[in-house]
Structure 1
Amino acid sequence: MTEVAALAEQPRPNAIKTIGFMIASFPLRLVQFILIVTLAVVGIATTIVWIGIPILLVATQLTRWFGDLERSWVRSALHTPMPPAERQAAEGSWVRRWFAQLTDLTTWRDLGYLMLVFPIGVLEFVIGLVGIVLVPIAVWVVPAIGWLHGRLALALLGPPRAQRLEAKASRLQASRARGVDAAEAERRRIERDLHDGAQQRLVAVAMSLGRAKSKLNNDPEALRELIDEAHTDAKLAVSELRDLARGIYPAVLADRGLDAALSAQAAKAPIHVDVAVDVEPRPPAAVETTAYFIVGEALTNIAKHARASEAVVKVWRTDDTVVVEVTDNGQGGASLRPGGGLAGLADRAATIDGVISVVSPPGGPTVIRADLPCTW
């Protein structure tokens, strides 16, 4: 089910890989089309003399094999989250097994894709050759076509719609559970900060004022010192409450949006941080808050563990998704481990059905990306 759940996210493929896919796929598609059509026609025509049955058996096996090959090819070249085929179990004699294959919906979906993708492959082959010469075609058009091809492959070669909806429901249920856990952890943090910070300050204020009251008539100098002490503690309590409120929802984020809020975060970071934000139209408050805290926690992790000298924060909007990307030039080796800091980012993103991905080879750089939907 976890593999099927990955269908919810399909990144846009790399232009160079997509051009290679378009060009290299054409001879494969040509061979597939000729073999399957020829074997099917010959097998059907000679079925009356029984020799057509083993020919059709070969055609069926090739269709299924080519379908699995296409799944692997699309998965690796176009970065499409394509799970392996789930085929109907077949037992008994070869005739029974063949009949099970023929009645398996996945076999017919394989055949439909292979027949449809041949004329599409001719067009993609031409576009791939043009993309080699014309850079704008390669940069803008080719990845979009590769993405569309991946969607077509998902529709025909991926799990049936009912199974995809079931996987989505399971993923949403899991993300909601993680969201509840994250909210509970946040509640405990607020309680701890109140108890260890502002509450202690206010208790100290009350004690200082009580002691000052006893000195009211007979020790003016001690009274002044106690009032000064209470005044200092009161200011510290107000400051800690202000910091706590800012940790819940920063005022600059509500008033001026992500650009100003993230720029303020970057200014406080111990390393140099470049910030670029383009999220118009302004996303919902829940998305802004999640993006803000993801960036903040990512920068904190970078300062503690990455040994980086600089970082780059990019936030942009694509249709109904806000993408947050934090890159650093540190030592790399980061990963999403249960209980780790990056797992906390994933839990926070999950509260709005967002997804966190981490690319961090040894030696760096590290790229943390969050895809946050604006509708859920």
Structure 2
Amino acid sequence: MATEYGRGYGLGDGPGLHGSAGERRHRLPAGLRAPFEARSLRELGYVLLGLPVGILLFTYAVTMVSLGAGLLVTFLGVPVLAAALAGCRGFGALERTRARGLLGLRVADPEPLRTKKSGAMAWMGAVLKSGTSWRALLYAVLHFPWAVFSFAVSVTVWTWGWAMLTYPLWFWVFPLYAGQGGLQLYGDETHQVYLDNPFEITVTALVGLLFALAAPWIVRALTMVDRVLVHGLLGPSRLVERVVELESDRGVVVDTAAADLRRIERDLHDGAQARLVNLAMDLGLAKEKLKEDPRTAARMVDEAHGEVKTALRELRDLARGIHPAVLTDRGLDAALSSVASRCAVPVRVEVDLTERPAPAIEGIAYFTVSELLQNISKHARATSAAVEVWRVENRLMLQVVDDGAGGADISAGSGLAGLTERIDAVDGVLVVDSPAGGPTRVTAELPWRSDHVR
């Protein structure tokens, strides 16, 4: 969701086995090669199969639901209605498979039936309460009229187009076997109009060519409605998708928090804690030498004093990495200015906010800019950078730009991937624009979530 846009329903054209062959194959315009592409034939096959499938599914759904509704006055109505809905769910699985095979539409399976108890009654209750079952029934009812319409239009356009295009090859049938000059356009008691001269035959073929070239695009437009029906009625509901997304985001947040705790523990163990242990040992030795060799003891105490300063600086840096006090006290403007002052290149900071967002969002914004500026210092080979923060309606916008070498890639498994996951976890978006040679522009969008209680 975060960094991916423009995802279509159709099948993409894969690369050829050899570059030159791929170039030759695509020199023909798409409008001319469409009637012969495998994708167009698969879409036509989907429409042609749609009519018998639609008739079967509609007949089953209407018959079973009507029977179940009529028997509701008896104990048989509920089982029949549950069986009807279960059958519609089964047909829905077949339709998802058909759409995946012929349209390239990959729709996730809907949520399975969940029963707290075992037994037939629990199963029937779960089927009747499931939104997936009723959406499958709705698909069965809506798909039938659309299948009839799309079948009629597709067959008419394809057959008439190719029949008219090939008319010069088979018009001789009429004078030879039917006793007339050609295909009759009009006829009454006194007038008859036939397509029988070279000019009319040529015009007929040209019109057929237009129909033949337009037919794949007309069928493709019709199948877009099928894609919407399958995706909207036979896939998981938006609520379920949102729940799955939130569960995934929660896992990312937990993993990130655990990684942060491990980093803090490692920094404490390898940094300040090690220095304090050494400091205690040095002070112990200095205490022992205090009476025997005061000069050496004084030197050791002076060295221990330096170690204390270093340990305090490391602890201060560690506390700033957890959550800087300046961010809590003075907000993003001062906190980002402090981070920018420690960057290896000059950084211009511009924060245009009239109020502060929620503390959690503010913290994520701070650490996002900190990580990006750290990447600039280490990897970008830049001479300058800029940080801009502003608000657009209920979204907090961040943008970090540098004039470095470029080439930053989220998919390369760098720190940008971790930033993307952290921002995704709060329904944010991270977009990286970093062509080779630069400049690099990283834009982050976070929810505002204002919080006046601090």
**TM-score normalised by L of structure 2:** 0.48
Question: Are 2:306 and 1:232 aligned?
Answer: yes
In 2, distance between residues paired with 1:270 and 1:245?
21
Contact 1:182 / 1:348 at 8 angstroms: preserved in 2? yes
- What does residue range 132-211 of structure 1 map to in structure 2 within 5 Å? 159=232, 163-211=237-285
Q: Is the 8 A contact 2:361 2:449 kept in 1?
A: no
Give the letter aligned to residue 443 of structure 2. R
- Give SS of 1:215's match: helix
- Is 2:403–2:440's contact at 8 Å kept on the other side of the alignment? yes
Pair 1:330–1:159, CA change in 2 (3 A): farther
Greater Rg over alpha carbons, structure: 2
Aligned match of 1:104: 143
| Counterpart contact for 2:357–2:449, Cα < 8 Å | no
1:107–1:283: structure 2 CA closer, same or farther, 3 Å change rule? farther
Deviation for aligned residue 1:362: 2.3
Report deviation, 1:323.
Answer: 1.4
Q: How has the CA–CA distance of structure 1 residues 227 and 285 changed in structure 2, closer, same or farther, with 3 Å as cutoff?
A: same
Q: Is the 8 A contact 1:278 1:316 kept in 2?
A: yes
**What letter is aligned with 1:281?**
E
Shift of 1:221: 0.8
The match for 2:324 among 246, 250, 254 is 250
Query: Bigger shift: 362-371 or 191-200?
Result: 362-371
Deviation at 1:279, TM superposition (A): 2.8
C-alpha offsets along residues 177-228 of structure 1, whole Å, 9 cap, x if unaligned?
Answer: 1111111111111111111111111111101111012112221111111211
Do the aligned partners of residues 312 and 101 (structure 1) sit closer, same or farther apart at CA in structure 2, a change above 3 Å counting?
farther
> For the residues of structure 1 that align with 2:243 and 2:386, how far apart are their CA atoms?
35
**2:32 is matched with which residue?**
none
Match of 1:366 in 2: 440
1:159 Cα offset (Å): 4.0
**How far did residue 292 of structure 1 move?**
0.8
**Structure 2 partner of 1:279:** 353
Unaligned runs of 5+ in 2: 7-47, 52-92, 99-137, 151-227
**Partners in 2 of 1:212 and 1:271 — Cα distance?**
43
Q: What amino acid sits opposite 2:142 in the alignment?
A: T
Q: CA deviation at 1:314?
A: 1.2
Distance in structure 2 (CA, Å) of the matches to 1:365 and 1:107 = 51
In structure 2, the CA distance between the partners of 1:272 and 1:235, relative to structure 1 (3 Å rule), is: closer
Distance 1:172 1:283 in 2: 21
Aligned residue for 1:104, secondary structure, equals: helix
Contact 1:176 1:350 in 2 (8 A): no
8 Å CA contact 1:324–1:369 kept in 2: the answer is yes
> Is 1:261 aligned with 2:335?
yes
User: Cα 1:326–1:107, aligned 2, differ >3 Å: closer, same or farther?
Assistant: farther
Which residue in 1 is equivalent to 2:392? 318
Normalising by structure 1, report the TM-score.
0.58
Q: Report the Cα offset of residue 319 of structure 1.
A: 2.7
**Deviation per residue, 1:120-170 (Å, 9 max, x gap):** xxxxxxxxxxxxxxxxxxxxxxxxxxxxxxxxxxxx998469722222222
Q: Percent of aligned positions with the same letter in both sequences?
A: 47
Amino acid in the other structure paired with 2:143 = D
Cα offset, 1:230, TM superposition: 1.6
Structure 2 contact 399–442 (Cα < 8 Å) conserved: yes
Following superposition, the deviation at residue 232 of structure 1 comes to: 1.4
- The unaligned stretches of length 5 or more in structure 1 are 8-53, 58-85, 92-98, 112-155
Partners of 1:235 and 1:343 lie apart in 2 by 36
Separation (CA, whole Å) in 1 of partners of 2:96 and 2:415: 43
Using the alignment, how far apart are the partners of 1:105 and 1:200 within structure 2? Answer: 74
Residue of structure 2 equivalent to 1:354: 428
Decide whether aligned partners of structure 1 residues 182 and 233 sit closer, same or farther in structure 2, where only a CA change above 3 A counts: same
C-alpha distance in 1 between matches for 2:423 and 2:345: 25
Amino acid aligned to 2:383: S
Q: Across the two proteins, how many residue pairs are aligned to each other?
A: 247
In 2: Cα distance, 1:100 partner to 1:163 partner? 14
SS in 2 for 1:216: helix
Tell me, yes or no, if the aligned pair for 1:172 and 1:353 is still in contact at 8 Å.
Answer: no
After TM superposition, the structure 1 stretch with the greater mean CA deviation from structure 2, 214-223 or 286-295, is 214-223
- Cα distance in 1 for partners of 2:236, 2:361 equals 29
Matched AA of 1:225 = R
CA–CA separation in structure 1 for the residues paired with 2:330 and 2:248:
33
Residue identity matched to 1:270: A
- Change in Cα spacing, 1:176 to 1:353, as seen in structure 2 (3 Å) is farther
Aligned match of 2:69: none
Q: State the AA in 2 paired with 1:340.
A: S
Q: Name the SS of the counterpart of 1:337 in structure 2.
A: helix
Q: Describe the shift of the 1:106–1:302 C-alpha distance in structure 2 as closer, same or farther (beyond 3 A).
A: farther
Match of 2:366 in 1: 292
CA distance in 2, matches of 1:305, 1:299: 10
Deviation (angstroms), 1:259 = 0.7
